[in-house]
Chain A
């Protein structure tokens, strides 16, 4: 092999070395940056799609809210944020009055009417608080039945857990009066936010 035949091999080696050098020094960082950017674009496109879906669902929810906004206070009536104790006592009394039964006793479990606001998120009580109550009502059978029915059909969430009817007899001037006594115990719910 003479010198002229060797020259192309040397030039080829030099060319290949130069290409390898530029591949490592210049092309590699560029390709890595391009890959990073493509990956970032794909992630952001996926996030954009998710946000589009969220926006669509929010728009749909806003429409549903607008349609039902007049009826939303009913939810607060069914499950108020506070115990609304005065309303509760008034409701039981007025229900007894309208169904013509006599409330002989009405007992609520001890509740805090002005609970201290929770200091931190961890101290926040779980939503869905209850007040236990029990009441005794006197009257005839149909009125007592009507009283229970009115309690059950109350918009405020009331769960009647136990009912019992007992008969009491009173002798007044040779006449025996028979009255029925209804014992009800139940639970009234509120949200306590």
Chain B
């Protein structure tokens, strides 16, 4: 009877450890899935992220000023 109880308590302990391991793996997988999931909607549209170039070729104006109109 004692042997049966001893084996049972060991099996319960093993199951508990297994459950703990599964819980840790589930948390890891959940975090991994969230980190690698592509965003459903980008925060900004490509038009909003397009940065305009503020440089202006002022020589064009100088050249145009010289021409007759």
Our verdict on whether A and B bind, yes or no, reads: yes
Query: How far, in Å, is B18 (CB) from chain A's closest CB?
Result: 9
Query: How far, in Å, is A81 (CB) from chain B's closest CB?
Result: 16
**0/1 per residue, B31-51, Cβ < 8 Å to A?**
100110001000110001111
Cα A16 to Cα B51 in complex, Å, equals 55
User: Which chain A residue has the least Cβ–Cβ distance from B44?
Assistant: A47
Find out whether the CB atom of B34 lies under 8 angstroms from the CB atom of A23.
no
Cα A68 to Cα B60 in complex, Å, equals 11
Find out whether the CB atom of A47 lies under 8 angstroms from the CB atom of B13.
no
Find out whether the CB atom of B16 lies under 8 angstroms from the CB atom of A6.
no
Cα A111 to Cα B60 in complex, Å, equals 29
Find out whether the CB atom of A9 lies under 8 angstroms from the CB atom of B16.
no
**0/1 per residue, A54-97, Cβ < 8 Å to B?**
10011011011000100100110110000000000000000000
Asked if A116 is at the interface of the complex by the 8 Å CB criterion, the answer is no
Q: How many residues does chain A have at the interface if contact means C-beta atoms less than 8 Å apart? A: 46
Report A-chain residues with C-beta under 8 Å of the C-beta of B64. 71, 74-75, 77-78, 155
Spot the interface stretch: A30-38, A126-134, A137-145, A177-185. Answer: A30-38
Q: Given A31-B27, A58-B52, answer yes or no on A20-B13 (Cβ-Cβ < 8 Å).
A: no
Cα A12 to Cα B13 in complex, Å, equals 7
Q: Which of A9, A77, A78 contacts B13 (CB 8 A)?
A: A9
A-B contact pairs, 7 of them (CB 8 A): A12-B13, A13-B12, A19-B20, A23-B23, A60-B54, A64-B54, A156-B69
Please list the residues of chain B having a beta carbon within 8 angstroms of any beta carbon in chain A.
Answer: 2, 5-6, 9-10, 12-13, 15-17, 19-20, 22-24, 26-27, 30-31, 34-35, 39, 43-44, 48-56, 58, 60-61, 64-69
